[in-house]
A and B are shown apart, each in its own frame.
Chain A
Amino acid sequence: MSQLPASVAITGIAGNLGRKLARVLHGETRVIGFDRRPLRDRPKDVEHHQLDIRKARVEDVFRRNRIEAIAHLGLKHDPRDDRAEAHSFNVAGTQKLLDIATRHGVKKVLLLSSANVYGPAPGNPNFLPEETPLLGAARLPGYRDLIEVDMYVQSFMWRHPEIETVILRPVNIIGPTVRNASSNYLRLERPITVLGFDPMIQVIHEEDVCRAIALALRPGIRGVYNVTGAGEVPLSAALRELGREPVPLPHFLVRPFVRALYDARLSSYPSGEIDYIQYLCAVDGSRFARDAGWSPRYSIRDTLRSVLAPR
């Protein structure tokens, strides 16, 4: 197995997944973090820069250190964030970061995108390949930034063939520490479901995602990859596994109801999220398995149960 790059910059290192990734990588390579937030429980050998990635000082860090690879995790997803500010942070931030990468000898750029960028739809094939158009923002504007960043990095890939660029699109990341829409949904005691609909869902454990990132950071891997966990499970079986008591609502009522909850600030789910529990948005992960030798360590059951663990 080829070696990890000698130094890796992680954006969004103070997030739950960023901290986990830093812990996976720090023994094997030099880790330099960027985040606007402070980094709690920082391992001693991890260097942290509490900075907005749009700031000019970021480039100075690249001047002073030989950074071989960038793992770009620091995108804002919260639907309640100020849209204009989040858009600038996500899109302009990514552009600035990649621009710096081209000037300072970075050999590898990795973007953590998401399999949800394809978007759920009744006509979806059961396993979406990487070539599928990214339509996730059709009913969920919150994905617009991620899709734009994903497309920008795709164009960066062919404009800079000298840099190995990787886009990873993992399925729903869940685990004891991550707090994203899908893991929080599985934490609800009485989650809303759509009456009569039970799509197959895919989940991946947060530690498996970190292992997948570490794998993709090694030299030789480039391109766009879906990253899957141990398999597919009906949503109802996942909820039963966790002992949940679903509240099924008819499909013609569920969106107005969820929208009302969101507007009243009683829930953080925009109504567009309902598509993900009504229709298929599952991906084919065979390309990453073939090119990078990827296989997840966590079974579906252990992955699902990990949301029950205390932080």
Chain B
Amino acid sequence: MTTATDPQGSKFRLSMLLYDSRYRSATIQIIALVLFLVLIGWLVSNTLSNLASLGKSVGFDFLGLPAGYDINQRLIEYNSRDPHLRAAFVGLLNTLLVAFMGCVAATIVGIIVGVLRLSNNWLIARIMTVYVEMFRNVPVLLWIVFTMAILIETLPPPNAFRGDDPEARMIVNDSIALTNRGFYIPEPLFGHVDEEGNAVGWRQGIGDVHLFGDSAVAFDVSLDLVAIVAILTAGILIARLIGQRADRLQAATGVRPRTWHWRLGVIVVPTAVVLWLLGFWLSSPELRGFNFDGGTYMRNSLIALWLALSLYTAAFIAEIVRGGILAISPGQTEAAAALGMRPRRIMSLVVLPQALRVIIPPLISQYLNLTKNSSLAIAVGYMDLTGTLMGITLNQTGRELEAVLLTMLIYLGISLAISAVMNAYNNAVRLKER
């Protein structure tokens, strides 16, 4: 603005720091930086003097002390003699577990509800609107405690399953038990063993691999699972290659070969063969005495948190999906129809690819919200990162500063990681403009 009238080559005066546009921005920035550093220094000195007067020191060595508390829902081995760091790690894995399950369920429910809100059937559209408004306008914490109350108050206790004429029955071919303590579902196992633990038959799992040795973050990874995931991924990749080859053939000859059975085959058949070779079977929970034994036990705190978070977030995702579909102008659909495409192809080739671009950025922030909201686990007693590190560990060791800061940093890391991954995906599907 003033550059043209600034005296060129004149001698430097102190006032030029303020009034010369060449120096002013640097001056302002240095003032801001100094003020910021003074603020930080003030906070730190306050903290240090307060901690000194309380007789506390700052340090993270408390993480190595034995935790002394139990965590009832966990993905990896843990006992109360393990250090606080391992307890925090168990909590972190629990956070990631519920966040992952929540994101998957919320996406599925959200897409279904969002599409159904646009249904031609007035009643269905209205029911979906009621669902969306009901969930969006009531706090998520209320939904979490409400779902927990529903699970506790309405489901039968495990001992209701006992006796010759029990009050409650297991569902899905006697394999799933819904009780007020949680859900007992079948556990995937590889290979049969007899009572002494000896392998029966030649089809056996290939065991676990132990990662990170004796450290606090050590855990086992099931090689069976790795093998299955690898085969599944390979199958999907080959299916995509087949699809691309069909695209090329179609571009060259105008006739698209039928490939769906090949593509399904390369995904399903190898996976089924690997499952059979590994001796895969589902072990159903069984009633022993007053409680269930065997199977996988999902505590009702996990179920309540998962259901409430997914249904709550799904209401927001439904709105995003609906908005994304509505954002595609009718001209696109009409143009596709004029080209002679069938409605399903219009949806999959024209509308959805464009709608996805609108949908994905807000979807990322919903995933982030869900992950952050999973910290409300503390309200129902699910031991996630907040419940372990910022909950019991904080109370037992009295290290508020370190525990809260560490928790914040871990959540920050998770958030940044999610947005990095999703932004990379977003860039990949973005409209490539010239």
A and B associate = no
Which residues of chain B have a CB within 8 Å of any CB of chain A?
none
Which residues of chain A have a CB within 8 Å of any CB of chain B?
none
